[in-house]
Amino acid sequence: MLKGRHLIDPMDFTLEEIQEILVLSEEIILNPNDYSDICKGKILANLFYEPSTRTRFSFEAAMLRLGGQVIGFSEAISSSVSKGESIADTIRTVGCYADISAIRHPKEGSSKIASQYSSIPVINAGDGGHQHPTQTLTDLLTIKSIKGNLDNNVIGICGDLKFGRTVHSLIKSMSRYKNNKFVLISPKKLSIPDYISKEVLKKNNIEYLEIEKMDDVIKDLDILYMTRVQKERFFNEDEYLKLKDSYILNKEKMNKAKEDMIVMHPLPRVNEISYEVDEDPRACYFEQAKYGMYARMALIAKLLGVN
């Protein structure tokens, strides 16, 4: 039963509950008109304490396409937080106006705290370097819809694996399905942290490989998940400039990949995928954005119990 629940951590839901959401997402994709009014009279409050246009748009479009409405703010400066209000008070007040809320906050754990005081379902729309569960739902729906299966994939993940929040959640989530293997491609300084490699992968006897060069492994991958090198995660400008171009996907590398490999990216990209790759039918990152909207539609409908 998902009605009335919060989604803070990608692992909050069981495999069965995730499945429920994915199935509903695919139903919505097939018959959008059947769902275009199910949230009539409902309001989503988008509390974005830091800007994230893409995620905000995705939530807004999701709610609007279900017939609901949206209120919100898109950065802390235009909110009561400038008057020193706690997030606990904010969510309790917002619960007077809205039926469900999505919270984006630069501080880890903010959504969790909000959910503890909230009378309405809270969705974590990203909290610092911590969690971003609707990105994970997006990724799962994309893989299920395009690859047809969440099991038996060789999943390459490339870029900043140390700080990349979406990557950690993806590994944890895909580890719950059968027989997936991971190829972790990153500079050593940005390699996957122990709490993922030891606590998730080794603990569950999941096969994985850590490697520095994409060229050596791209031919084996079913999925290549590219990530942005986020400038703000680096300690200094030199370090950033030295590393940022190391992991760029281009046509040449794509030529070595399987014909049915798919390329994913949480977006926005800077230059880690060359524009020439966009034309390749295996480039799925814009489709992925669309799946993100459908996954959020299904999630909102489930948490509101209106589907």
Is 293 a binder of a copy of itself (CB under 8 A)?
A: yes
CA neighbor of 135 nearest in space, from 247, 305, 288 = 288
Residue 55 counted as an annotated binding residue: yes
Is 77 a binder of a copy of itself (CB under 8 A)?
A: yes
Is 124 a binder of a copy of itself (CB under 8 A)?
A: no
Residue 268 counted as an annotated binding residue: yes
* Neighbour-count burial for 31-66, b at 16+ CB within 10 Å, e otherwise: eeeebeebbeebbbbbbbbeebeebbebbbbbbebb
Residue 267 counted as an annotated binding residue: yes
Please identify, among the stretches 4-12, 171-179, 206-214, 261-269, the one whose residues bind a copy of itself according to the rule CB under 8 A: 261-269
How far is the C-alpha of 288 from the C-alpha of 276, rounded, in Å?
18
- Asked if 271 contacts 243 with a C-beta cutoff of 8 angstroms, the reply is no
Is 241 a binder of a copy of itself (CB under 8 A)?
A: no
Residue 296 counted as an annotated binding residue: no
Is 34 a binder of a copy of itself (CB under 8 A)?
A: no
Please identify, among the stretches 11-19, 47-55, 153-161, 169-177, the one whose residues bind a copy of itself according to the rule CB under 8 A: 47-55
Is 177 a binder of a copy of itself (CB under 8 A)?
A: no
Among the listed residues 4, 23, 51, 215, the single contact to a copy of itself using CB under 8 A = 51
Edge-first strand order for the sheet with 223-226 is 208-211, 181-185, 154-158, 223-226, 262-264
To the nearest 5 percent, what fractions of the chain are helix, strand and coil? 45, 15, 35
Residue type, 123: I
Is 96 a binder of a copy of itself (CB under 8 A)?
A: yes
Among the listed residues 79, 175, 246, 274, the single contact to a copy of itself using CB under 8 A = 79
Residue with smaller CB distance to a copy of itself, 23 or 71? 71
Reading phi first (left if > 0) and then psi (alpha if -120 to 50, else beta), residue 72 is in left
Is 41 a binder of a copy of itself (CB under 8 A)?
A: yes
Is 269 a binder of a copy of itself (CB under 8 A)?
A: yes
